[in-house]
Amino acid sequence: MLVRAKAPLRVSFAGGGTDVSPYPELHGGCVLNATIDNFAFGSLRPRRDSTVRLQSADLDLEVEFDSGADVCFDGKLDLVKAALRKLGALNSHGFDIFLHSDAPPGSGLGSSSALMVALVGLVKEYKGFAMDDYEIAEAAYTIERQEMAISGGRQDQYASAFGGFNFIEFEKDRTIVNPLRIRRDTVNELGHNLLLFYTGRTRRSDQIIDDQTERLKTNVEDTVGALAQQKDLAVVMKNLLLTNRLDQFGELLDASWQTKKKLSPRITTPAIDEFYEEARKKGALGGKITGAGGGGFMMFYCEFEKRHLVAAQLRKMGAVQMEFAFETTGLQTWRAQAAVAV
């Protein structure tokens, strides 16, 4: 028996930062995002002995330990170890786990959280746990943000677990996922006109998020005001999607980006600013970084007749285009026939 899982990555349109504590607890937050057909993958193969072997293709790491031994946190796949311990997967039975993502850590597509959602899904399927999408997302969030104290928000785990276009609200004691019923022609046109480019630079989002959080706690006016504007933009852009007003939606991506840059001076870089300026010159109506900032992927909305001009200019500057389509399904787990590992 072989257990498989895959969880989709996401693009975020507006509201990013309002899902990061302590903002939701103080003011309530909301984000607008959608999952794409790039995934985090996991496989679990039971063993006949008590050995646990973990392998990450993205980090080119492999660790091995006894299932009954105390977990050693030594900087090697510690997040995976913490998840297995938290979920009660470590007992007398061993297994091999293999993990891989379509995008590298620090890409801004929520790949790290999607990988955690996939891992929770693996254990759920392996152990036969009854967990709904909310419980899976919250477990992934708890392991990342509380158990391992990795800075960040909640949107990535919930987007990956649920899938599709979602307007997600964050309150003090709960998270509410509102799936959006976007018209098929709207989804097609949006995908037709969007570009996704990798800047060639990954980043440590925790440093940016920690700076943003400190600026919020010290009541820096730009940051506090920008977070409120991000919430407003998420609501307006949700309504534009629902009513098929995509050119206005694309233009507000620019407003979302200009507002996002006020959250922390670390969000943009000279290289990112140059990519953005050149894309706008070639006809992009708007765009933004898809994650916390500092690097990773950039997304641009263009009139379709100018899309190829924007793409050519960004490729000329060294950015790498990622072809994608929107994904409507969240976490998926299944079982396959395979020999038990020795």
One domain, residues 96 and 175: yes
What is the sign of the dihedral through the CA atoms of 140, 146, 149 and 155? positive
For residues 38 and 99, state if they share a domain: yes
> How many CA atoms does the CB half-sphere of 72 hold within 13 Å?
8
Q: Say if residue 148 is in the same domain as residue 28.
A: yes
Domain match, 176 and 202 both: no
Q: What is the pLDDT of residue 293?
A: 78
Same domain, 93 and 189: no
* Cβ-proximal residues to 320 (8 Å cutoff; 6+ apart), any chain: 197, 198, 200
Work out the mean pLDDT of the chain and round it to a whole number: 92
Residues 134 and 230 in one domain: no
What was the pLDDT predicted at 202? 64
**91 inside domain:** yes
Domain shared by 138 and 192, yes or no: no
Say yes or no: 116 and 173 in one domain. yes
Q: Which residue has the tokens 């959280």?
A: 113
Residue 149 lies in a domain: yes
Q: For residue range 203-222, list pLDDT tens digits in order.
A: 566 578 888 888 888 888 78
Taking only the tens place, the pLDDT of each residue in 90-125 is: 876 899 999 999 998 778 899 999 999 999 999 999
In a domain, 334, yes or no: no
Provide the pLDDT for residue 139. Answer: 97
Residue 195 phi/psi, 5-degree rounding, is -120, 145
Please report whether residue 35 resides in a domain. Answer: yes
Asked if residue 176 is part of any domain, the answer here is: yes
> 140 and 22 share a domain?
yes
Q: Is the pLDDT of residue 18 over 80?
A: yes
Quote the domain boundaries for residue 126: 2-180
CATH, residue 66:
3.30.230.10
Count of domains in the chain? 2
CA–CA dist 206, 304 (Å, integer): 35
Whether 156 is catalytic is yes
Q: Which domain-ending residue is among 159, 180, 201?
A: 180
For residue 339, is it within any domain? Answer: no
Active-site residue, from 156, 206, 232, 254: 156
**Residues 163 and 192 grouped into a single domain:** no
User: Is 341 within the bounds of a domain?
Assistant: no
Cβ partners under 8 Å of residue 169, min gap 6: 28, 29, 30, 175, 176, 178
Q: In this predicted model, which residue has the larger pLDDT, 201 or 87?
A: 87
Whether residue 299 contacts residue 177, with contact meaning beta carbons closer than 8 Å, is answered with no
Q: How does DSSP classify residue 244?
A: T
Are 202 and 133 found together in one domain?
A: no
Task: Give the single-character DSSP code of 128.
Answer: T
Task: Specify the 3-state DSSP secondary structure of 223.
Answer: helix
Question: How many CB atoms are located within 10 Å of the residue 220 CB?
Answer: 16
- pLDDT tens digits, one per residue of 236-246: 999 999 999 99
Q: What is the pLDDT of residue 204?
A: 60
Whether residue 34 is contained in a domain is answered as yes
- Three-state SS at 84: helix
Choose one of 180, 195, 211: the last residue of a domain. 180
Q: Residue 311: give its domain's CATH number.
A: 3.30.70.890
- Give the domain-ending residue among 140, 161, 180: 180
**Residue 249 and residue 150 share a domain:** no
